[in-house]
Amino acid sequence: MYELVAQQVAGQPVEVTTAALRSAARAQGLDTHQPWISAAALQMSRESSPTLP
C-alpha cells in the first residue's frame, strides 16, 4: 500500500505526502502520529515521480 502512495505523491509538497501517508496508516488501523510518517513524507516530497513500467 505504501508503495502505491509513494508513486502517487512523490515530488508533492510535504503537506500532501504527510496527508497521504496518514490516510494510508489510518486505513490500516495504525496510529497516524507515528514519527516514521513525517520522516517518510519528507523523503517522498524530495523524490521525483517514479516512472511506471
Question: In which domain, by residue range, is 8 found?
Answer: 2-46
Let me know if residue 51 belongs to a domain. no
Task: Let me know if residue 52 belongs to a domain.
Answer: no
In a domain, 9, yes or no: yes
Tell me how many domains the chain contains. 1
Rounded CA gap, 34 and 53, in Å? 32
CA distances from 16 to 21, 28, 47, 53 (A): 9, 19, 13, 24
Q: Are 11 and 45 in contact (CB under 8 A)?
A: yes
Q: Tell me what pLDDT residue 51 has.
A: 52
Within a domain: 17: yes
Residue (of 3, 14, 16, 11) closest to 49 by Cα position? 11
Q: Is 53 a domain residue? A: no
This prediction's pTM: 0.81
Q: Using one digit for the tens of pLDDT, what is the confidence trace for 3-39?
A: 888 888 989 999 999 999 999 999 999 999 999 999 9
